[in-house]
Each structure stands twice: as structure tokens, then as C-alpha cells.
Structure 1
Amino acid sequence: MRDLFAREALAHIPKLLTLQDRNPHSPTYGCFDRNFWQYKIIDFPSGMAQEFVWPLALAYDTDLAGNEFYRQPRLRDWVEAGIRYAASSAHRDGSCDDYFPFERASGAAAFSLLACLQSYRLLDLDDPKLLRFFEKRADWLAHHLESGRLTNHQALIALCLELASRLLGTDKWAAAIQNRLELVFSWQNPEGWFQEYEGCDPGYHTLTLGCLAWLYDLRPSSRLKDAIAKGVNLTAYFVHPDGSYGGEYTSRNTYNFFPHGFERIGRWFPPALSINDCILEGLAQGKGACYADDHIVGHHSWSYLLAWRDFVAERPPLKPPSMGRLWLPEARILIDQRADTRLYLALNKGGAFKVFRDERLLLSDTQFSLVVRQGRKVKNAVGHLVGPYRYHLGEDEVVVEGSLGWAKQKQMTPLNLIILRLVMLTVGRFFPNLIRKLLQTLLITGKTPAPFRFRRQLRWQQGRWQLRDELRADSWSQVMAVGIGPDQTSIYVVMSRTFQTGQLHPWLDLTPQVRQLSPGEPLIVERTL
């Protein structure tokens, strides 16, 4: 199964090359942002896109039957061009932008620096100018703290600084590395998960573990080892019976799984290898998510190729964890195994859930969704936003209740874009973190209650989960449509809203039932899972 990791990644190399300007006489030679250099529909290149040099460099160095990119001289040229464009397109302080000019995005700077550092090493390049660029970007990362709690970024920055230190032969970032690791340790919940905005996201959790595993190989410590082992033990519970991973019941709605760290960890902690084996079984059955869009296709490509390179030959027998019931009160996630049925339930997201029988997904449910007319506006009220819902957790019964929230559906308009550009070209360029914090509040965090109240009850009876949903409103007159979907999300997260085959389950359209309700009469939906 090892080769499946490599083949999944190599299938994306033609797309990555299509995204790159490969004309050596072009002023944007090496740029991977096709919207900028080819379509000319944006006014700056995304610095994150230069991360794509790494999967190309790894493809160049992957000796696998059928890999037509192995040791191709032109591919090596294009990787070097990509690194040089990362340097030439950066700001004077070494930072780069991602979604708007003068953003100075930590994530984009760190992902692309890691890619450039490792590609430079892999191709055995020798260029003092590029080394100066690496140092400048590392300096910026060492001194810049972004808004929001994204543990994966902190682990990634610590790894970048460690690798840059070794390449450049300096220890000037030693304190910064330790400070980032202290943040990571402080943001790891006692339950094992790492904070991502408003809670536990098992997908980004695997990226954090991958960075920490690499750091542990470079600078081992008992504290780091303990944090990793605790994180791996938790990860095992989130691998679904069909080999899929994550989804809409998690804090950032992602199906992310980064396998590279589990091969490193598996050298000294074999349970990590069983996790990757379960994921490989899922990939073989088409249960992985699609991340082949223009902005995020690189992340998983390099992680898969690294997992192939670091694959541990001697592996323990595949043994999924004994489940029973796992209740994570801090994450407010319940994983409940009953005979051949396994339930993943998010009580911090209104009771959004997935339920499996044997190795088959029976149902994915992301709670009520309403289309509501308010004057001239049409808004979306949903039950899956992160919030402080009331819940009761019994031995054979779970109840969660609260109010729906207004979905975050803010779109860009020509006027909004003009305003954002004017702000960033004037005062915003000096306070990019403030702008980022405002956009996070607008698009990601927080919940504004909507005037609809729900109660969800799951009861285990006769070997099945019985589900009863109740929705109340003072008036149904302004409600245009009601449904329950398998995959709805309502916040802005780059890596969410990707396709996974579980999303083929149909929506449950409840609009006809609502139209028959009298004012004040509740909508009641009962199902047997």
C-alpha cells in the first residue's frame, strides 16, 4: 500500500505545473498563481502558491515505477524558478501576502518557506542570494505573532526556524523556536487535541503532529514526545470505520489528513503506523477528500510524498482502537461505539454528527438549515455553528438544544474589494494583523443567534439510534425553505468544503412540512438510524 501515497500525490503534478509560469523569458517566471500571471484577474500574487515547489522537488526525487518526472532536468529548473520567484515577490521584510495585498500572512510565509528550504536542500542548490531571502523570512516569522489560535501555524513556524537555523548555521532563533513550542504546549488541551480557532479540528491536528514529529527528530525532548504520543492516541479515535477522516462535526469542518508525521512517529510509537494503514485502506476505497483546487492542492501532495519516502517497512498488525464510548468534555465531542454502530457527535455544534454501521456511512447530518426572508434580505439560519449549547449526556440518551445562528455568508462585491484595497494601500499596510482579526470575526468566529430554537434527542433503543429533532419559531411566515444536509458548513475555512463521497447522501427537504404548520406549532422530525 505504500505506493498509494506517492501515486495519489504524483497525479497532481501536471496540475501544479499548469499553475506555474514556466516561461524563462517571462517577468513572472516561476510564479504558481495562475490567476495573477495568466488570467490577470488579481493584482498581486499569492505567496502561499510558491509552496508548490516542494511537491515538484519531491516528484523529481521520487524513484517510483511510472513516475515520468523523476530526475527530469526541466522539472529541476522549474523548482528553482519557483524558489527565486518566492524571493523576488516577497515584501522587503521577507513576508508575503495570501488573500489581499499587504496582508503579511504568517501561514503563507511559513508554508512557502518550509517548501523553499526543503527544495533547496533536496536539489543541492548553492545561491547566497536565496540564503539571504531565507534568513529574512525566518527573521520576520520569528518576530511576528498573528491573531487567532491556530496551533498548526505555531508548530510550522517552529519547524521552519529550526530548519533555517541548520541550513544557515545560526542559533539566533533558538529563543523564538522555544517560544513557539511553548505556545503549542499551552494550546494542547489535556484531552490531546490542539486548539484551532474555536475548538478541536482533527484534520489540522495531524499537520501539527507532523511538524512536531519532525522537530522531535531534530531536537528530542520528553515533553515533546509526551505531547506527540497524547496527540496520536487521540487521532486514532477519529479515523472512521470506512477509512475516511474528519468532516463537518469538527471545529474547522475539514477532511484533512496529513500522513507524513505518522511515519516518523511510528519509528518509536508503532500505533501511529496503524493510523496510516487505516487511512491507506480508505484511500484505496476512494474515501479520501479531494483537495485539487488551485490554492490547496500542494499541502497534501508533499505530505503524501514524504509519507512514501519515510514509510516504515516493519509495521504492526492493523488494529483499530477499542472504542466503547469516548467523551471529550473540553472539545464537546462524543464518539460512541455500540456493537457494529459508531456515532461521532459534536455537542458544541448543535449535534452535527456522522454515524457508521460496520464500514459504511449511514448518515451525515449537519443540523437544521433555514432560508429566511428578512425585509429585502434573504438569510440562512443554521444549527451547526460552534456555540455554548445546552446538553444532557446519559448512558443511552443524548440531548442538545439551543438557538440556530445566522450563517456567515458575506461575499465580496466590487465596492467591498475597492474599500479593502484602499484600506490596505493606506493604513491597513501598517496594521495587517488588525485587518486579519476583523476578517476572522466577520467570516469565521462567533455566532449571532437567529430566532429559531431546536432540540435534538438521540436515544439508543433496540440496537439502533432513534433521532428526534424539534424546531420552534414564533412565526413560519418568513421561512422560505427548510432542510437538513449532510455536508453544510457556514464559516470561512480554506481547507473546508472539499468533496468527499459521504456528501453524496441526499438533503432532507422539510419545506413541505413547514408550510403546513400553524404559527407557534413546532416542526418535529423523527428518524431511525
Structure 2
Amino acid sequence: MNQGASHIYLEQVWRQLPRVFSRGDWEPFSKSYGCCDRTYWAWKFTDFPGARFQEAAYALASLYTSPWPDNPFYQNPKALRRAGAVMRYWQSIQCADGSYNEAYPHEHSLAATAFTAFYVGEALSLLAGHLPEEQVRSLRDTLARCGDWLIANDESHGVLSNHLAAAAAAMTVIHLNSNDARHADRARHFLARIFRHQSEEGWYEEYGGADPGYQTHGTFYLARIWQLTGDAQLLESLVKANRFLAHCIHPNGSLGGEYGSRNTEFFFPAAFEILSNVCESGKAIAAFMRDCLRRQAAAGLAAVDAFNLFPMLNNYLFAAANADADLQPAVQLPFQQAGQWDFPRAGLHMRGTQRYYAVLGTSKGGVLKVFGKDGSYYSDCGYWVKLAHGLIATSQTLQLSPPVERDGDEFVVETRFSFLKQKLMSPTLFLAFRLFNLGPGRFRRLGYWVKKCLVAALVTKAKAAPLSLRRRVQFGDDYVRISDAITLDGGDKAVSLGCDDKFSAIHMGSSRYFQWQDMGPSWFEPARPGREIQELNESGRLIIEKNFEL
């Protein structure tokens, strides 16, 4: 551990500790002693405790056992007691079958079971010599029940590689506590699923596509497994994944965004610190992003909400524990070079010149991000149109391996608009959903079928709208030109038309965290003028030209 390099992460951690430890119920006589879901135990606004808040166990364990400078929790008896309380409460909310709930009662969530088991298992490995022997045995039994449930269950509502990576990591840690070969075998099962769905281009699948933000998260669990096992096949996969991810690191310290399948932009740094000595792309990412996190240029610990607070906090602590001395990468990140890089399966084209670095998301209707070497930033996330019947349609629709016309430095992308997913919870809908959770939802197959339907309704299934976009993008050495042709099918009328530098077309709680680039100057007004709407309605076609000099 290098104290100077660790400090980059720890100074962010220290700033968040008041917020972090305000989340826990620390009263020993309380029914919810050790619960870290403050909305449940303090505000009493929810009717069940979310299991994933108990991932705080690892943060407390790490702080208690780490002799970092200025660490007020090192060998602090209160930190140890609170870590023990968090883990006991985690045990108390385990379902009878060994699983845990995250979003609603009787969910039996693979994600909640895997993530919490991993972090509690890691906490136990740090605290086993400090806790009563009876509690250690009890925790190992609880972890084994998690492992047995994960042996019998899998995730079927979509391929989310970060969930599968957490499941593999959980089974690896559980095996270290149980010595049950079945748990190690199941870890290999989850890894095999990830490998099968890893693209030849390097990226790990997230709901059908590449998502840079979630890839930084999932890569951490895989890197931790490699650290514990030395798995050569896993390291080969990680090196390939990091080569891809390097292209999604932007000059201003951000990454990902609307060209990804889940629109995420948060950055989890630990994997790249862990891999920095065995993967040059990982080392380059770690070296560049250290200062970006210090400046809070990327969406990190300060930006995330309560639902990502503990995974991000724990990740910073793992990064601090693995941060090497000053890194000297042997390779440059793509944005530091002049060149062109294509990932047709992901639907991505990257372009670097002496004046800018650009990412064109052909799989998302031509979403475009341009980063000037002078610090300027341009983002075009596509269009939305409000139709006369009140529904809103957008050109930001995920389409893997989209047909793209290319002529030298010119790209043409065609996409259909789809209707925006804007469902919100209401008292009536919430009551109906809870009645289902407490009644028919207890039947596992029915509950999982409904979950699959919810994912389709909110994320993966797109309903076509009566509009299309033909976007022509031309890249020059010091400019980017866009020519858009929007077509409206006969019989429908547009009420309003907009284009913006940041918006999302799907439900995704982990997207749209604040970044400083969001407050930069806009290159255009979001609302298009009325004359353009009139032209679209009268002729059924509208041409919009944009020219950006850099």
C-alpha cells in the first residue's frame, strides 16, 4: 500500500463519513440495531429494509483494520461494535431460503444476495480475529446458506455482467469460508456465463450492449476474484475488457454516458488499481483517473445517491488498499492519440485528432460526444418529439450492430424513434404491487416472470413511434458537422420538438448522476423553434444542420 497514492481515494472517503455513518441505527436496544436503511428505520417511509445497505459492513471492517494516517476508526471499539451490528442485522433479514430482497418483499434477488454476501464475506475475513467465535461461526453459516441459494438460482431477466461478476465473487469468498467445493464450482459457472457473453470487442454485456460505467463496477469483482485465485483465463478476459474500456475514457475525466446500453457515467476505480501491474490499459486508466476523481470530474463518491453509496465507498477503500506508487503507463489512452477506432458490434466509433476526441454511438441513434483539446465539450443525445396524443418519442433507441453507411470520414445512421418510458409509481399502483408481493408474488416462478415483465416495460422493450431519423456525421481535423433528417409518418402531428446534451430514454437509477461538465455552455437550445415543428407537420420532413468548429 502506497500512502501517497491511497490518499487520493481516502480524502474522498473522509469527506463522506458523516453521511455514511448517519445511515445506521446504532442503538443496541433498537429492533433495527445495525440497519443501514435510514429511510426504513429512521424516517419509516418504507415497509421493508433493503438488504444492500448492509454492504456498510465492509466499510466499517476496512476502516477498523487499516492503519491509514488520519483514520479515526482504526482499532476504534465503536467501529468494531457497529460492524458486528451491521452483519447481525444482515443475518436477521435473510429469507428462509437463503436469499435477500432489494427492491420489494419476497423478491429473492440474486443481486442483493450476491453483493451483500461478497461484502459481508470480505468484512468477515478482516474481522474474524476480532469478533466472538460464536458470531464468526454464525456468519459463516449464513454465508453458506447464501451460497447454497446461489447454487440453485440464477438471473434470467437479462444479462447483467456486473451482477454475475458479484455472484462469482460472492461464491469465491463464500468458498474461502466454507471450503465447500460446490461453492467454488458455482463461482466458475457465473464466470463462464460472463465469458460466453463477453463480446469479441472486449466489452461485458449489460442488457444487450456495452455500458462503460457498469463495466468499471463489474470489472472490480472480476479483478478481486483474480487477486484471490490467480485465474489465468479471467486475467485474459480482464485485459481484453480494459483495452475496450480505455476508449470510453474522455479527456475531461468523464466516461460513458448515453452511448452506453444503460447510460451510466459513474467510475469505480478499484479494479484498475488491482490490475495496474499486470494490465497496461488498466494502469493507464488508473493513472489518468486518479486526478479526475480528486477533481470530481467523474461521477464518483460525492455524486452517487444512497443506493450506490456503499458499493462506491467500498470500492474507494479497495482502491486505497491496492494503490501502487506513482504509475508510469507504457501505453497512452486513445484520447491521447490521433486515430480511429471502431467497435461495430457495440455500435461505437471513436475519433481522435489534434483538436478533439469524439465518440459516436451508432447503436443509440447517432448519440455524439465531442471533447475539444481546449476543454470545450459538446454532447448531442438526439431528439424527442411530443405528439398530439401526448406521448413522447425519442431517437435514442438501442440497436446493436446497426446498419451504418460509411464513406471515409462520413457516417450515416438511420433509426426509428421509440416512445419514452416514463412510468412512475402511484398510490394505486403501489398498493396493487404490494398485494401481489404479499400474495401471488410469493410463488417464485410467478414473481420472476413479473420481474422480467417489469424490466421489459422499463428498460429493454422499445415500442416504435411514427418517426425516423437519418443522421449524417462528418468528421474533419478541426470540425464536426451533423445533418439530420427527421421524418414524421402521415396521420400524426408533432406538438413540440427538442434536442438536448443530456437525457435518458430508459429507466436507469444509476444514470444521470451530476458531473461538472453538465453545467458547461450549451451548443444549442433544447427546444426547437415553432417554425420547425410546423415544417415537420406540413411536409412530414425536417432538416436540421449543426456545425461545430474546434
TM-score range, shorter chain: over 0.9
Aligned AA (1:163): V
Report how many residues are paired: 526
Match of 2:530 in 1: 512
Residue among 61, 64, 83 paired with 1:60:
64
| Structure-2-length-normalised TM-score | 0.91
> C-alpha deviations, 1:76-95, integer Å up to 9, x for none?
21121111111101111121
Task: Pick which of 89-98 and 358-367 moved more.
Answer: 358-367
1:415 maps onto 2:397 in alignment: no
Residue among 464, 478, 490 paired with 1:449:
464
Match of 1:299 in 2: 311
Gaps in structure 2 of 5+ consecutive residues: none
Map 1:77-116 → 2, pairs under 5 A: 77-116=81-120
CA distance in 2, matches of 1:474, 1:161: 52
Match of 2:169 in 1: 159
CA distance in 2, matches of 1:56, 1:373: 54
Over 3 Å counting, the alpha-carbon distance change for 1:404 and 1:36 in structure 2 is same
> C-alpha deviations, 1:99-155, integer Å up to 9, x for none?
111111111111111111111222233322222111111211222111210111112
Residue among 50, 55, 60 paired with 1:51:
55
Task: Pick which of 97-106 and 281-290 moved more.
Answer: 281-290
Task: Pick which of 17-26 and 120-129 moved more.
Answer: 120-129
CA distance in 2, matches of 1:354, 1:415: 41
Match of 1:273 in 2: 283
CA distance in 1, matches of 2:66, 2:514: 28
- Deviation, 1:317, is 4.3
Match of 1:339 in 2: 354
> C-alpha deviations, 1:252-305, integer Å up to 9, x for none?
110122211112212222432221111112223331215431211111111111
Question: Is contact 2:355–2:373 with CA below 8 Å preserved after alignment?
Answer: yes
Aligned AA (1:402): T
Residue among 182, 194, 197 paired with 1:187:
197
1:134 maps onto 2:149 in alignment: no
CA distance in 2, matches of 1:85, 1:511: 56
CA distance in 2, matches of 1:462, 1:132: 62
Match of 1:198 in 2: 208
> C-alpha deviations, 1:19-55, integer Å up to 9, x for none?
2111111101111111211111211111111112222
CA distance in 1, matches of 2:469, 2:277: 48
- Deviation, 1:461, is 4.2
1:24 maps onto 2:28 in alignment: yes
1:433 maps onto 2:451 in alignment: no
Task: Pick which of 280-289 and 154-163 moved more.
Answer: 280-289
Match of 2:225 in 1: 215
> C-alpha deviations, 1:353-396, integer Å up to 9, x for none?
2111116242111100122341xxx3221111213654212321
Match of 1:123 in 2: 127
CA distance in 1, matches of 2:303, 2:483: 35
Question: Is contact 2:144–2:174 with CA below 8 Å preserved after alignment?
Answer: yes
Over 3 Å counting, the alpha-carbon distance change for 1:511 and 1:56 in structure 2 is farther
> C-alpha deviations, 1:182-241, integer Å up to 9, x for none?
111101111100111120011221222222222222222332221111111112111111
Over 3 Å counting, the alpha-carbon distance change for 1:222 and 1:300 in structure 2 is same
1:526 maps onto 2:549 in alignment: no
Question: Is contact 2:266–2:513 with CA below 8 Å preserved after alignment?
Answer: no
CA distance in 1, matches of 2:76, 2:163: 33
Residue among 510, 515, 523 paired with 1:495:
510
Gaps in structure 1 of 5+ consecutive residues: none
Match of 1:405 in 2: 418
CA distance in 1, matches of 2:353, 2:384: 29
Aligned AA (1:414): P
> C-alpha deviations, 1:162-191, integer Å up to 9, x for none?
111112233232321221111111011111
Task: Pick which of 281-290 and 138-147 moved more.
Answer: 281-290
Q: Percent identity?
A: 28
- Deviation, 1:474, is 4.1
